[in-house]
Amino acid sequence: MKLASYKDYLARYKEYPGLPSNPARIYGDEYVGWDEFVGRSTKYYETFEQARDAVIQLGIKTWPEYKARYKEDSKLPVSPHATYGQTYLGFTEYSGQAKPDRYATMAEASHACQKLQFKSRTDYKNRYFQDALLPGDPPSYYSDEWKGWVFFLKVDNTPKTGKGKYDTYEKFVEAVRVLGITGQIEYKTRYKEDQKLPSHPYNVYKNDWVSWPEVFGVSPYLKRCESWQEAKVVAAPYRFATSTEYQEGCSADERLPKYPGTRYKDFPGWVTFLLPEDYDCLADVKCAVKIINLKSSVGYRNARKKFPQLPAHPDRMFADEWVDWYDLCNIPRPYSYDELQELVISHGCTIIKDYRELMAKLKDPRMPSSPEEVYPQWKNWHVFLDKPEPYTLDFLQGYGVGWIPSIQHFLRTQRGGLVKETSLCRFIRHFIEPHDLGRTPREFLTRKATDIKPFRELIESQASRQVGRNLLLAVNAYLNDILASELTIEDEDTGELVRVDGASNPLATLSYKGDGAPGPSESTKPALAFQYVSGMKKWMAPENAMTFSDLASLHQFDADYFEVDESLIDRNDPDCVFKSQGDKFLLWYPGYWMHAYALVSIPARGRQIACNDSGEADEYIPDLQGDKVVWVKNKNPLAQSKNQHGFIKRCDDGGWGMHFTSNKTGFMGKGYDVPWIPEELVYWMIRLRKWQEKYNPIQRPMPWLECKRTNLNETQLKRKGKNCFLFRSFREEEPPAYSARLAERLAAALYFTQPKKMVLATFAHGGSHSTLSRYDSKYTPHSMRVSLITAYVMEFGLPIEIIMKLAGHASVIMSIYYVKVGAAVLRRRMDEGEKLALREQVYAAQNMFEQNRADELTHTLVANSEQALVALMAGNVGSTLVRDHGLCPYGASRCEDGGAQIGATQVWSAVPAGYLGMQNCTRCRHFVTGPMFLGGLLSLWNEISLRITFLSEQYLDFEKEISDCDSKIAGLDELEFDMEKMGGIFDASSRVRIELEKNKLESEKEQVAKKMDMFLCDMQSLTKQINDCKAMISEQASDDDDQVRLVVHDQNEIVVEVEETSLFQQLNEVCVNASIFQSASADFATPRRSQMFDNMALLNRIRPSLCSLSEKEQLAVGNQISKFLLGRLKTWERVDQVVTGQILLEDLSDEERISHADFIEVLTVKTPQLLNVREVMA
């Protein structure tokens, strides 16, 4: 007949005698459905997810488009919300456009509207933003479900009968039937015959309305079940497993409504409706498993908590039918253990991450996601992947089991427990077990004879000398401890300690002479340029971000989400970031990313940051009030009086600093404070603490003794006390294993911020960008640390004392390894006479050395090494070389071994080159100085500081040019995007040229930085020596002995200050020093100062003359001019204003007045008269 619809059938069925008008009624149980009746199979997609994928494939984005195109795929239903029932999550999700910040279905949004009590559409438009999950345009957002504003807002809860209308639905129906109305059209023409009948009864009686046929008394629905419970009983024998199966098969029984969710106001959902109540055979259980969509025995056991009617042990209850869980859950049976192992090894899998990636690549359902839960023969991942097991106690088996208790006891009192544990496990696995040398240490140590040759071969075969040495030392320490504690007894009569007969350590006399290659003397990790570290930091937390919900770039990674109960979700909290997956709620945990953010903000170790305290148990804590950080009383129940361990610390001067719970290279020692912290880090750390308090609370400070992820022994753990860890894992009290997490997040941040055509990080394609394990970079967390230490000192000018604390270093030498000191301007407020007096003290000291009276100066000298003082006291007058800043006891003949010691050898490297060239005395271990050389030390410090100032200018110029290149590249990137959008072709040659220019500028900048680095090292050494001299001066103040003494004022106290100053003052300081100290040089300062004086002359309409003088004459005249200006103007600030042209000579006050004639007279070339030392001493 080629029927298109049931309507066509009713029009033509009489053409064929024998065809019924209602086949469903005539054929009863045999009738499956209309499509089956006419021989047409159009079964819809079984699940919502399958239909969604088809819609996404078609590229359908709107509901009107869907209604126009859904027939392009015969398996797409016309009404998806009716077909998929509760599993339908709204059209935005259905079309692949799900937005986590909106209610997924109209029902959820409608329920939220009822809570806010919207009165009308206008009221909704004015107030919908009160719930962030409500859409601004619900008709568009829920286009496939939309039934009007009245239905959506549920404001019409009581019938609007109007004046003179029937007040109940039942009275209305009775009146209609009295009139004999049998159709909707007839009602429209006759309802006025009864003035109590409304024109639109479905609006008036909407709470009770079913359909027009039911009003007229001719509806087949009148035979339907009255409640969903009754319909559930009727549907049970059919074993419908999905809403689709039900809607296609419910026509087999007239009592079953096709859309029970619409029919029954209290409909509980498809799972409850279809789930069997009685289980008489295994088929009933299989039906239930399919309804709930269970895929494993674990899922089944968890489902029983929600659906207790499920049989507890279906394998026992239906033993005669039972096959296995794969059969019950209708899932593929996994490979055998051997098959799977062969598969993963053939694909080169070496770690768990490789196995996960292989699963994602092959999409093989026979590969279990958790093989350790599937195979009874499972041992561990290392065996499964055919890799050596780690050298830890957890992996000791066989003979090794008997050694474990004594090793555990030994390690409780040892430092470096992990290294020793590795060595002892290596010893047992490769020496004790293969040669059957004893099941316990007592048995091994009491053997009559032991061949130690295999052990010697073992230590000599190690990859490096350090590993072999550690192995020998750890084994001997352990065996000697066993001998002393278990195999030694005390004589009761004499108290003598006696060794058990035959007990001895056969390895005690063994020495190690490994010839493995020595390890690198410094870090081999590449350092990352600070510009890229800064870019990562801004990507993690943009400058305009205020809450965790603003950190959108960080929300894309799956590893940061944890499943939580819906009650923990606070939709009104902008720091509560979450997403839903079906009926699951996943909360975003910010701790891992905040750890990474802290790492790129301060040059501290990842371990140091991870172990910091949140301050939850402190008496006072920092808090946010508006845009300010304030110090408030802690209201947390954990707060204790006088407790102050939080990461954010309040300094004595009212500023903010940091408190670290761990020391420099490890975390076994005491913590320390740093009087500085970036302001933006304070903000985000307070946010993190408040998040932890709300969503990841703890009941107590965590005792270190209970921490599992440490390398500390029991004694050290007790000494650490307890902390509320700021970076604690979600649902845990202690920090996580941080290394891999930090590396992955730093690699991801670097990947998304790296410049085009520059590979700083990579992504392993073939998987989702939301998987952090797929990101990799050769730049490690250590690279961030090196970059930050350099940047904060060289670019931001932090004092070296703060950097040393911030980096957690214990000595200057260690700081040199990472960075060199910053270029602050060290300037001394000494006049010319005082400096001359200091120079005379050098001559006095030189005279005493020549008279062999060096012993009288011993207590006034400061040396870089004790050996230098010994050599000086030896009395070799001819070998002592005296300079303005100190002396050399070897006559500058030992520069080649004046550097640092090379490794553990007795060989010394040459002194590092610096400002003074190869004879860089201040950094030489043979160098000796003292308070009498303070003038020369200060002169050299300021001279180097000036050079760094000039280099800094050059460095900043390069920075500006690089920034200009970045702007040009960004503009070309936008042009390329626009042209590609319009279908044009972009010429990339200009961008390539600019990128090449930028790379060259970066290289030039790096060269300047290296030179600054060298000079900063010198300044650091000088700073230490100057401070030592200051300390010695303080000691001399109370000593009345007759000795070489400094010329001092202010009650015999010299004050050395560090202060900021102008460029002119710095230039002048160097120039004045050059006229006093023979070793000082003003080669760089004199021309620059002369330019400033000539420019000042031009501004005041005076002919410039310094440019016509020689450098020596410029130095002498320039010193006269500066001395004259300071004497007339009294303050350096005023002198700066005149020299830079901010104030002209004619604008000076009467007492400051300088005429043109006065200034020209000063410019007259003549040898300057320096102060007489005797006059100064008088």
pLDDT in tens, 249-306: 887 777 888 888 878 888 988 999 999 988 988 989 999 999 998 888 888 988 898 8
Q: For residue range 160-212, list pLDDT tens digits in order.
A: 555 578 888 888 888 988 888 887 778 888 888 898 998 888 778 776 776 77
Q: Identify the CA nearest to 138 among candidates 87, 97, 95, 91.
A: 91
Q: Identify the CA nearest to 368 among candidates 325, 316, 430, 319.
A: 325
Q: What is the pLDDT of residue 1088?
A: 92
What is the distance between the alpha carbons of residues 1032 and 921, in angstroms, rounded to a whole number? 20
Tokens of 541: 């937390």
The low-confidence residues of the chain, meaning pLDDT below 50, are 32, 157, 159, 515-524, 664-668, 794-795, 797, 809-830, 1040-1054, 1165, 1167-1178
CB atoms within 10 A of CB 114: 13
Instruction: Determine contact, residues 1159/1168, Cβ cutoff 8 Å.
Output: no
SS3 annotation, 29-97? HHCCCHHHHCCCCCCCCCCHHHHHHHHHHHCCCCHHHHHHHHHHCCCCCCCHHHHHHHHCCCHHHHCCC
What is the distance between the alpha carbons of residues 560 and 578, in angstroms, rounded to a whole number? 10
Q: Hunting for tokens 């001719």 — which residue is that?
A: 218
**What amino acid is encoded at 941 in this protein?**
W
Tokens of 860: 């006034």
Provide the pairing of β-strand 886-888 with 881-883.
Answer: antiparallel
Name the DSSP letter for residue 540: H
What is the distance between the alpha carbons of residues 827 and 1067, in angstroms, rounded to a whole number? 11
Q: Is 389 left (phi over 0), alpha (psi -120 to 50) or beta?
A: beta
What is the distance between the alpha carbons of residues 1121 and 1107, in angstroms, rounded to a whole number? 14
Cα distances from 1037 to residues 224, 624, 841, 1054, in angstroms, run 109, 49, 17, 10
What is the distance between the alpha carbons of residues 88 and 948, in angstroms, rounded to a whole number? 68
Q: What is the pLDDT of residue 7?
A: 58
What is the distance between the alpha carbons of residues 920 and 1022, in angstroms, rounded to a whole number? 11
Tokens of 867: 């050996």
pTM of the model: 0.43
- 775 by DSSP, 3-state: which? strand
Q: Identify the CA nearest to 338 among candidates 386, 394, 388.
A: 386
Backbone angles phi, psi at 267, to 5 degrees: -55, 125
Tokens of 312: 């507890």
Q: What is the pLDDT of residue 125?
A: 81
